[in-house]
């Protein structure tokens, strides 16, 4: 299985940060996982990486509803894709399976949607198999259930 060098997780649930980190560890997915619990802070972090010409994360997982933020995960996807003009692999990770929200996410540049649960490992394992296609922009939008 390919290792994803670095991941940014944007989610307001600290407990999920631990679940996600454990899943990544069990699957040997990443060498560097950073968690941010606020969309505004995540955008500022990403902006600073771009301005300072620093290495951006290989992949960003964004929660749909980020409590305490001035905008949601779909808007964060849009800003990273279209305001900061970046080709980073980005998608939504949410307990919601709402097709209207998924359609909005696609318009915002999200490449995938992972249904969030305590059993996240199988979904992440499947995602990693498709990661190269996301990096190359050849994989279609996919919902991991």
Residue spans of the domains in the chain: they are: 4-144
> Which pLDDT does position 30 carry in this prediction?
78
Low-confidence stretches of the chain (pLDDT < 70) are: 1-2
CA atoms within 13 A on the CB side of 18: 3
Q: Could you tell me the pTM of the whole model?
A: 0.95
Q: How many CB atoms lie within 10 A of CB 109?
A: 18
Which of 52, 64, 59, 127 has the alpha carbon at shortest distance from 93? Answer: 64
* Interatomic CA distance for residues 69 and 39, integer angstroms: 5
> Which pLDDT does position 43 carry in this prediction?
96
Pick one of 3.90.950.20, 3.40.50.2300, 3.40.50.300, 3.40.50.1100 as the CATH number of 4-144. Answer: 3.40.50.2300
The percent of residues in the chain predicted with pLDDT above 70, rounded, is 98
**Mapping DSSP to helix (H, G, I), strand (E, B) and coil, where does residue 83 land?**
helix
> In the sheet that 59-63 helps form, which strands lie side by side, from edge to edge?
30-36, 4-10, 59-63, 89-94, 112-115, 142-144
The bridge status of strand 30-36 relative to strand 59-63 is: unpaired
CA dihedral of residues 105, 68, 45, 97 (deg, nearest 10)? -20
Q: Tell me the β-bridge partners of 94.
A: 115
């Amino acid at each position: 299985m390919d290792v994803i060098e670095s991941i940014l997780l944007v989610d307001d649930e600290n407990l999920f940060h631990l679940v996600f980190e454990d899943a990544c560890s069990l699957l040997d997915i990443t060498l560097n996982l950073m968690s941010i619990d606020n969309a505004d802070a995540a955008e500022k972090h990403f902006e600073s990486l771009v301005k300072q010409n620093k290495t951006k994360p290989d992949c960003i997982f964004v929660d749909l509803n980020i409590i305490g933020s001035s905008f949601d995960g779909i808007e964060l996807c849009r800003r990273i894709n279209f305001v900061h003009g970046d080709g980073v692999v980005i998608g939504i990770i949410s307990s919601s399976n709402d097709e209207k929200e998924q359609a909005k996410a696609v318009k915002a540049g999200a490449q995938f949607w992972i249904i969030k649960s305590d059993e996240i490992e199988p979904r992440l394992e499947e995602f990693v198999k498709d990661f190269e296609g996301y990096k190359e922009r050849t994989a279609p939008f996919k919902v991991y259930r």
